[in-house]
Copies of this chain bind each other. A is one copy, B any other.
Amino acid sequence: VATLSDVAARAGVDVSTVSRVLRADPRQAVRPETRLRILQAADELDYQPDVIARSLRTGRAMTVALVVPDLDNIGFTAVVRGVQRAAQEQGYAVLIAELRDGGDSRAVEDIAGRVDGLLVASAHTDEPWLARLATRLPVVLVNRRARGFPGAVIVDDEAGTALAVSHLVELGHRGIAHIAGDLATDTGQRRLDGFRTALRSHKLRARAEWNVSGDYTEAGGRRAVTELLAGKERPTAIFAANLVSGLGAIAGLREHGCEVPDDMSVVVMDEHPLAAVTVPPLTTVSMPLEEMGAAAMRMVIESLGGSAASELCVDTQPALIVRGSTKPVAKGS
């Protein structure tokens, strides 16, 4: 069996350089041509993966689990991508576990037995399974905060919400409704708070009846517009707390004969390539979700090394992407 030294000798470099390349040690960069030479030497010598040896040395499984509430929610794609990227840079594998709200947590508890740490992007942080696992493993929350969990990475939801509201105000809208997320979640609450703050900063009044929950789901967004349109006064614009509830809202509006953007402007939180091809194409707020995922992965690995976990807000700012679901308010609205 070939060893690291054998590979080093063949590639004409020292063992530590080989180790950096083959063990995906991120501490120091290796020049591409050196890297290639090492990979070729390893290949020629049939050097075997050393994840087991590494696990023995470090006492770690070299695996972290990411718990998401719903793989179908396209808002999580970028988070998964960021987590994967950072994991790979540090030689870790990521196990993704889907745990729907109120779902059977057994799968996640099983998984916990084979990982070094846990990234949690599921909505409800007060569940017993999470408390149980947190006594055994480092936990980092992804875009949510909860008492008892100091490790958390969030994005600036308030800034993103302010961008959305300012865009609508600049288009002349004064009656702006919010299809909120699940208000039992920290992130749903933060976006609602951000919405109220943004309205105040534009000297607009937040009407209670124009804050309706869309639960972050398609069906929730559709239900929310039924409620909004049943009210005495109609808003002229909607800010939806995520992409899928915004799509649900647009479908619901259309069922009520209300066309977007002619009769109602809609701007949504979260960006995704699909937003460019929906009818109408969506005006979105792009949040740094990939950066957040990567930061969360780095934080959980640091916790393994003994660093105290703390809260981190990703400093990349949100960006507004204007497409076809928003337009200037109609005269007389």
Is A295 an interface residue, CB under 8 A from the partner?
Answer: no
B218 contacts A273, C-beta separation under 8 Å: yes
B132 contacts A43, C-beta separation under 8 Å: yes
Q: Which parts of A89-147 form the interface with B (CB within 8 Å)?
A: 91, 93-98, 107, 109-115, 132, 136
A91 and B113 alpha carbons, distance in the complex (Å):
10
Quickly give the copy total for this chain: 2
Is A202 an interface residue, CB under 8 A from the partner?
Answer: no
A110 contacts B56, C-beta separation under 8 Å: no
A80 and B63 alpha carbons, distance in the complex (Å):
18
Number of interface residues of A (CB under 8 A): 60
B80 contacts A96, C-beta separation under 8 Å: yes
B63 contacts A52, C-beta separation under 8 Å: no
Instruction: From known contacts A74-B74, A279-B254, infer whether A114 and B93 are also in contact, taking CB-CB under 8 Å.
Output: yes
Q: Which parts of A214-261 form the interface with B (CB within 8 Å)?
A: 218, 221-222, 244, 247-248, 250-251, 254
A135 and B74 alpha carbons, distance in the complex (Å):
35
Instruction: From known contacts A88-B110, A273-B72, A279-B250, infer whether A95 and B98 are also in contact, taking CB-CB under 8 Å.
Output: no
Q: List 7 A-B contacts (CB under 8 A).
A: A93-B94, A93-B95, A94-B95, A247-B274, A247-B277, A250-B279, A251-B277
The 9 closest A-B pairs by CB, nearest first: A93-B95, A51-B114, A218-B277, A251-B277, A49-B113, A279-B279, A51-B61, A247-B277, A52-B55
